[in-house]
Structure 1
Amino acid sequence: MAKSLRSKWKRKMRAEKRKKNAPKELARLKQALNLDKKGEAVMADVQEIATVVTADEIKKQKDVDMAEMEGAEGQMDLDGKRNKKTQLDENGQYPVWMSQRQAKKLKGKRMSKKSGKGNKKKKGIAW
């Protein structure tokens, strides 16, 4: 679809518009960053808007975070109160990620074992 004459013309016109507006856009960007003669931004104005953090501080903070992670050895918080066979927790609830169909299937297995009717064959046509 992008090969029609109309779309080619539109792309061409957009490219020309970008060329025409590029100098204005650059001037507006420099003015927004408040660049001085050397080409460096004035940090006093920027600090009012955002917190300025040097790269060294970020690296140090990352090293500290990594050391804390190694101390915890990266263990996940597993739900230890859940029965592994039935997937039920202490309140009799299935996990949120389990679909209704899976829960119904597990419930059917559980109920058939409880009532002892699990050995019967189902009625119907045997293929």
Structure 2
Amino acid sequence: MAKSIRSKHKRKMRNVKREHFSKRGLENLKRIAAQDAEALKEIATMKPAEEVMAEAKAKADAMEVDKAAKVFSKKTKQDEHGHYPEWMNQRAVKKQKKKLAKSKKKPGKKIKW
């Protein structure tokens, strides 16, 4: 199909509009970035990495654990009370139970002819 004068004009006007707003947008971005940098200087103070790591290590050492983590068997995926983890959905639990039953099942006697 041939391009109409109307569509050419619309395209031209869109380009003009795009250029006009891009200048405005760029100025806006620069202004916002400058404000953010100033605000950040007031709020945050930069520390060397060694200090930050030392503080984190001290906090980790000082932290006490209230509850002991549950221990799950890798084979059965159950804890010592026979419960499955909370994150495991019921479909996965059923699948695991089938798998365990299959592994516990003894092979039947084969008929010899």
TM over 0.5: no
What is the TM-score of this pair, normalised by structure 1? Answer: 0.40
- Greater per-residue helix proportion: 2
What is the TM-score of this pair, normalised by structure 2? Answer: 0.42
Using CA pairs below 8 Å that are at least 6 residues apart, which structure has the higher relative contact order?
2
